[in-house]
Amino acid sequence: MSTTTTKSSFWQGLRDGLPFILVIVPFSALFGVVATEAGLNVYETLAFSVVVIAGAAQFTAVQLMMDNTPTIIVILSALAVNLRMAIYSASLAPYLRDAKIWQRALVAYGTVDQSYALSAAKYENEPDMTTAQRLAYFSGCLVPVLPLWYGFTVIGALGGKAVPDSWALDFAVPLCFLAMIGPMLRTLPHLTAALVSIAAALGFAWVPFNLGLLIAAFLAMVAAVQCESFLERRSET
Amino acid sequence: MSEHPDLWLIIVALGLGSFGLRFMFTGLLGSWAMPAIILRHLRYAAVAVLPGLVAPLVLWPSATDGQIEPARLTAAIVTLAVAMMFKRVILAIVTGAGTLFLMLYLIA
């Protein structure tokens, strides 16, 4: 009995994940192209996508490597972009307490924006799901996402060499980032974070080793939380 | 463009680091809650890093040796505006790229 419902949870996850194909395909292909432009070969580019599976962090790392940033700053900056994964992890943890450690390790590997967003909403809306059903749903979400992420990274990397200079690919990364930032600016604290980040990054651009970016990120997070607290206090009184 | 000397170190460190972040709670600290004040700050991490990363790339593009360049600046503004208005990442990239090509064509 429970096997059929587990199976249906899997198919439900798969169906819910399908629309993300429209995002995954162009995005991973673009990463392939940009990484190739930065001097990575196909295997290195694919390794990036398989090991990191996080578009924004991958683009960050490649951009900073192109600017000859020191290794440790490349790593710290890209991981800072990925800090949200710790939040995702914290939010999924209570639902997967009974899963085996290797199952939780696989879930951790597959925790990306898409699988997290779908699963967190599903688990919250249907608290009666069993652990097996939750795992099945999560795996289902990943089926349209992960293979295409790998595959189109390779296709982008192979096709990237054919792209002529006149396409101004130097600007592909900034445009991608701006497109990702737009939807993030949904509240005043988010907007504050973005503005402080921009001002501080430009102001601290003289700091060596691109450390200015990390300073800017720190200041931006503090400013956002201050703004949040201010709004809370104001709404209480 | 030559390759970064520590490319593989970066790939491995990012892989381990990203997995660590994802496994931190689901895998290891299931019962331990991170202090709320830290979680509160972490929620803003992405929006605190990405704008700072992109601002110098937009204002001082490498293709023009750091000179402000109207085609790229216009494309950047259009991309951000579309992304904020419609909350569609791919739509914003396509519109921005279209603006960039159009501007480069008009200027040249």
Condensed to tens digits (0 to 9), the pLDDT of residues B37-47 reads 877 887 788 78
| Averaged pLDDT score across all residues of chain B | 86
Q: Average pLDDT, whole number, for chain A?
A: 88
Residue A110: CB atoms within 10 A of its CB come to: 19
- pLDDT for position A9: 94
Residues of chain B numbered 14-73 and touching chain A (CB < 8 Å)? 14-15, 17-19, 21-27, 29-30, 33-34, 39-59, 61-63, 71-72
Side chain identity at A46, as an amino acid letter?
L
Chain A residues with CB-CB distance to B55 below 8 A: 197-198, 201-202
Structure-model confidence comparison of residues B4 and B34, the more confident one: B4
Comparing CB atoms, the residue among A108, A173, A184 nearest residue B22 is A108
Structure-token match 């931190």, residue found: B24
Question: In the predicted model, what is the mean pLDDT of residues A45-69?
Answer: 90
Considering only residues B34 and A74, tell me which one the structure prediction assigns the higher pLDDT.
Answer: A74
Separation CA A60–CA A58 (nearest Å):
5
Tokens (6 digits) for B4: 């970064």
- Report pLDDT for B1: 44
**CA nearest to A112, candidates A144, A65, A68:** A144
- Asked if the C-beta of A148 comes within 8 angstroms of chain B's C-beta atoms, the answer is no
In angstroms, rounded to a whole number, what is the distance separating the alpha carbons of residues A116 and A108?
A: 10
Say whether the ipTM exceeds 0.95.
no
Are A68 and B7 contacting, i.e. CB atoms less than 8 angstroms apart? no
Indicate the residue of B4, B42, B52 with minimum beta-carbon distance to A86: B42
| Alpha carbons A224 and A196: distance in angstroms, whole number | 9
Does the reported pTM lie above 0.80? Answer: no
CA separation for the pair B108, B104 (Å, rounded):
6
CA–CA separation, A74 vs B38, rounded Å?
23
Quote the CA–CA distance of A20 and B56 in Å, as a whole number.
30
Q: Does B80 touch chain A (CB under 8 A)?
A: yes
Give the model's pLDDT for residue A189: 96
CA distance A16 to A141: 7
Is A90 within 8 Å of B38 (Cβ atoms)?
no
pLDDT of residue A1: 45
Confidence of residue A68 (pLDDT cuts 50, 70, 90): confident
Which of A197-211, B27-41, B71-85 is least confident?
B27-41
- Residue-wise pLDDT for A210-223, tens only, equals 788 889 989 999 99
pLDDT more than 90, % of chain A: 48
Maximum distance among all Cα pairs of chain A, rounded to whole angstroms: 64
Question: How far is it, in rounded angstroms, from Cα B99 to Cα B103?
Answer: 6
Instruction: Mention every residue, 6+ apart, whose C-beta is less than 8 A from residue B87.
Output: A182, A183
Distance CA(A135)–CA(A119), nearest Å, equals: 9
- Examine the pLDDT at B99 and tell me if it is beyond 90: yes
Closest partner residue to B87 among A56, A74, A182, by Cβ? A182
Nearest chain A residue to B35 by CA: give it. Answer: A90
Tell me the per-residue pLDDT of A83-131, one tens digit each, with 9 for 90 and over. 878 878 887 888 888 888 899 999 999 998 888 878 887 888 888 999 9
Which chain B residue's Cα is nearest to A189?
Answer: B44
CA distances from A163 to A32, A130, A169, B1, B4 (A): 12, 49, 8, 15, 22
